[in-house]
């Protein structure tokens, strides 16, 4: 006797299942959207009341350079279009240990989808580039944030106004202004396989880690900003002290990133903490060229994980 095939779920059943499955993966909101399985390329809207809204999804890693400028635009639009029917959220693949710390998201006062199984991430970010996706009237539009951000954000605001006036052609709205781009918007991602590692390192599929106090990494920098994505292993007792040099010297005070300090011994150092993950190491007005070296001074008792390093242009 032939085995009876399972009945395919209806769209309403799929939405109900997604609401239940994704409930614990959302911060500051109940589930808004979801993707059902890797074979399904459809993005399901899970809250019927947001269907007429202009919906935005910022799909990006916590260290992506485009985040600062996009969040700045969101906050500007929140003031300019206060009380009108639009919504935004941040989509992140839950692949970093430090994402368990809610303080990571304090600068983003909007709903967050911390996706455990990256179905929606893979759908939107096919090549890993940060994306700003918008949905209106059943149509999705996807903007890669590797392109000039000012043009993208102006286009998105224009589309937002079109959406808001869909049912009210005379709705008074502010003039679209040139967006003020905050921070760096472009950069290169350097993964551990492309770093020069010295000392004892353990290589895993998503990162490298070390408990060697003599371990170091090197890279060639050509840019204005250096950003590290890092965390501690579960064996760490405390934060790990790291020394950073540029061409064998300390980082000049005018180029220190937010997390780096000059010590009494005139060295440049910072600490990798369990509750943080993104570290701005160099922030210069002019492009810097040379060899950057990180030394993990207290890794023996506080082993570290390196996810990636980003050089902003």
Clarify whether residues 306 and 226 are in a common domain. Answer: yes
Q: Is 230 exposed, middle or buried (0-12, 13-18, 19+ CB in 10 A)?
A: buried
Within a 10 A sphere around the Cβ of 49, how many other Cβ atoms?
9
Tell whether 145 and 16 lie within a shared domain: yes
Q: Is residue 146 domain-shared with residue 15, that is, in the same domain?
A: yes
173 occurs within a structural domain = no
171 is a domain residue: no
Specify whether 114 is located in the same domain as 243.
no
Are residues 117 and 36 both part of a single domain? yes
Kindly give the parts of the chain with pLDDT less than 50. Answer: 184
Residue 278: what pLDDT?
92
- Asked if residue 160 and residue 48 are part of one domain, the reply reads yes
298/239 same-domain check: yes
Q: What ranges make up the beta strands (E) of the chain?
A: 26-27, 33-35, 43-45, 54-59, 86-93, 112-115, 131-136, 139-144, 187-190, 196-198, 202-203, 208-210, 216-232, 240-246, 261-262, 268-272, 278-296, 304-312
If asked whether residues 193 and 160 sit together in one domain, one would say: no
Residue 297 located in a structural domain: yes
47 falls within a domain: yes
34 and 103 both lie in a single domain: yes
169, part of any domain: no
Residue 81 within any structural domain of the chain: yes
| Structural domain includes residue 177 | no
pLDDT at 101: 81
Q: Which of 133, 164, 195 is the last residue of a domain?
A: 164
Same domain, 159 and 46: yes
**Domain encompassing residue 56:** 11-164
Task: Give me the CATH number covering residue 250.
Answer: 2.60.120.260
The domain that holds 86 is classified in CATH as 3.40.30.10
Q: Are residues 69 and 214 in the same domain?
A: no
pLDDT of residue 68: 81
Would residue 26 count as lying in a domain? yes
Q: How many CB atoms lie within 10 A of CB 19?
A: 17
pLDDT at site 137: 84
**pLDDT at position 8:** 82
| 244 bridge partner residues | 294
Count of structural domains, the chain: 2
287 and 152 in a common domain: no
pTM of this structure: 0.86
């Amino acid at each position: 006797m032939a085995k009876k095939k399972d009945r395919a779920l209806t769209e309403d059943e799929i939405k109900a299942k997604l609401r239940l499955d994704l409930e614990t993966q959302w911060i500051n909101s109940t589930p808004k959207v979801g993707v059902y399985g890797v074979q399904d390329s459809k993005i399901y809207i899970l809250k019927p009341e947001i269907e007429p809204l202009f919906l935005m999804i910022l799909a990006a890693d916590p260290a992506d350079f485009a985040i600062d400028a996009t969040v700045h635009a969101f906050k500007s639009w929140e003031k300019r279009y206060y009380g009108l029917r639009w919504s935004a959220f941040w989509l992140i693949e839950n692949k970093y240990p430090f994402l368990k710390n809610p303080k990571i998201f304090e600068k983003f006062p909007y709903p967050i989808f911390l996706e455990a199984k990256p179905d929606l991430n893979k759908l939107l970010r096919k090549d890993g580039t940060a994306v700003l996706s918008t949905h209106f009237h059943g149509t999705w539009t996807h903007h890669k944030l590797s392109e000039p951000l000012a043009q993208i954000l102006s286009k998105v605001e224009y589309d937002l106004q079109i959406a808001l006036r869909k049912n009210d052609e005379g709705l008074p709205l502010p003039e679209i202004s040139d967006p003020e781009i905050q921070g760096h918007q472009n950069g290169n991602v350097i993964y551990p396989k492309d770093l020069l590692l010295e000392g004892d390192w353990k290589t895993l599929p998503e990162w490298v880690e070390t408990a060697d106090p003599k371990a170091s990494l090197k890279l060639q920098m050509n840019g204005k900003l250096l950003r590290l994505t890092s965390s501690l292993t579960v064996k760490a007792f405390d934060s790990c002290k790291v020394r950073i040099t540029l061409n064998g010297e300390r980082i000049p005070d005018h180029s220190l990133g937010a997390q780096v300090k000059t010590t009494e011994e005139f060295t440049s150092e910072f600490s990798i903490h369990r509750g943080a993950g993104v570290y701005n190491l160099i922030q210069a007005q002019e492009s810097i060229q040379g060899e950057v070296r990180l030394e993990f001074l207290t890794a023996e008792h506080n082993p570290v994980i390196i996810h990636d390093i980003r050089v902003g242009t």
